[in-house]
Amino acid sequence: MSKVDLSVNIGSLKLRNPILLASGTVGYGSEISEFIDLKKIGAIVTKSISLKPRKGNKPQRILETSSGMLNAIGLTNVGIEKFISEKIPYLIKQDVPIICNIAASTIEEYVECVKILNEEEGIHAFEINISCPNVKEGGLQFGNNEKMVCKITEKIRAVTKKPIIIKLSPNVSNISDFAQVAKKEGADAVSAINTIIGTAFNIKNKKPKLKNITGGLSGPAIKPIALAKVFEIHQKVKIPIIGIGGIMNWQDAVEFLIAGSSAVQLGTVNFIDPTASLKILNGLMDYCKENKIDNISSLTGSYQLD
Ligand SMILES: Cc1cc2nc3c(=O)[nH]c(=O)nc-3n(C[C@H](O)[C@H](O)[C@H](O)COP(=O)(O)O)c2cc1C
């Protein structure tokens, strides 16, 4: 059989394959590039960046749970200036498409960040983080308010022609309503899901285990929830979806594609095995060959309901 075509289109964003690295789990690329050749993956989504550097929350900020982890990092990042002068040049050298994830406390800050980064040729697309559960301002207060999502998308669309991906929160009743708003205001795609709010207590001293009290749950524990959210969006809204949540192996990735994703992002698995993305990519390729699929994008939304 001829070679499998692994390339995917996510709106106007064309990628060599559907395996992306999720924001916040591989820093700005230099950490993971010791383990994998970044040239081989579809794209890297960089750690959420804000206009000014952010220290994030105090420790304890990370915790292992049954089949997952809780994090309350609080968007620690180097700020836009250092990102442009140090992090982007490094990633450009790695020859990997860069999707820049942006977090902000106000609509104006989102717009300002996109305006500045829009000038950077190395950036292929923006992922807008409106769904971080671990900050007081600029996280879920945007992500679970349809009017805010509408305004943010509209204002960002006005200042860039690059693809815009809105990263949706699972901590809402109907995620597809938010995908609909993003589509209406001109987003190219949505990514789903960010982490789910969770907490844990120490039974000896009865204190919360995380300094921030709550954190975001990720890893295999959230996979069925994430799949259901992807499926809901796919059923209700015609917009490309990047599936995220608990993907640990190639079988999980295939499941997300079948449920409606055009591409997937890998998060927590990078902490367990930093080479997982390449293994998953190889597994996807073999799956396509065995099943005589010559174009991986034909898997997207290929579920059979009866
Ligand atoms: C330690 C950690 C830090 C994260 N930081 C960010 C972030 O800065 N911005 C963001 O949009 N998502 C962030 N996320 C969420 C992931 O990108 C992803 O949406 C989530 O972890 C679910 O995928 P997973 O189950 O494969 O990890 C973070 C996740 C973890 C575990």
Residue 42 predicted with pLDDT over 80? yes
Atom of ligand 1 nearest to the CA of 244: 23
Tell whether ligand 1 has an atom less than 6 A from the beta carbon of residue 270.
no
Where do we find the tokens 């820093």? 27
Tell whether ligand 1 has an atom less than 6 A from the beta carbon of residue 50.
no
Domains of the chain: 8-58+73-197+217-299 (3.20.20.70)
* Mutation pick for ligand 1 pocket among 194, 261, 265 (CB with most ligand atoms within 8 Å): 194
Residue 48 CB contacts under 8 Å (≥ 6 apart), including other chains: 23, 24, 75, 77, 101, 102, 103, 129, 132
Q: Closest Cα to atom 22, ligand 1: which residue? A: 245
pLDDT interval class at 189 (50, 70, 90): very high
Q: Closest Cα to atom 18, ligand 1: which residue? A: 194
Is 150 a catalytic site residue?
no
Neighbours of 119 (CB within 10 A): 9
**How much of the chain exceeds pLDDT 70, in percent?**
97
Give 282-286's long-range contacts (Cβ < 8 A, gap of 24+): 282/250, 283/249, 283/250, 283/251, 283/253, 284/6, 284/17, 284/18, 284/19, 284/250, 284/253, 284/254, 285/4, 285/6, 286/250
Distance 90 CA to ligand 1 centre (A): 22
Tell whether ligand 1 has an atom less than 6 A from the beta carbon of residue 129.
yes
Residue 293 predicted with pLDDT over 90? yes
* Residue 228 DSSP symbol: H
Tell whether ligand 1 has an atom less than 6 A from the beta carbon of residue 191.
no
- pLDDT the model gives residue 1: 52
pLDDT tens-digit series, residues 51-102:
999 999 999 999 999 999 999 999 899 999 999 999 999 999 999 999 999 9
* Residue 298 DSSP symbol: G
The 62-65 sheet, strands edge to edge: 62-65, 68-71, 214-218, 196-199
Atom of ligand 1 nearest to the CA of 265: 26
Tell whether ligand 1 has an atom less than 6 A from the beta carbon of residue 181.
no
Q: Closest Cα to atom 4, ligand 1: which residue? A: 24
Tell whether ligand 1 has an atom less than 6 A from the beta carbon of residue 195.
yes
Name the pTM for this structure. 0.97
pLDDT tens-digit series, residues 127-136:
999 987 766 6
pLDDT tens-digit series, residues 195-240:
999 999 999 999 999 999 999 999 999 999 999 999 999 999 999 9
pLDDT interval class at 137 (50, 70, 90): low
| Residue 130 in tokens | 């409106």
| Residue 196 in tokens | 């789910």
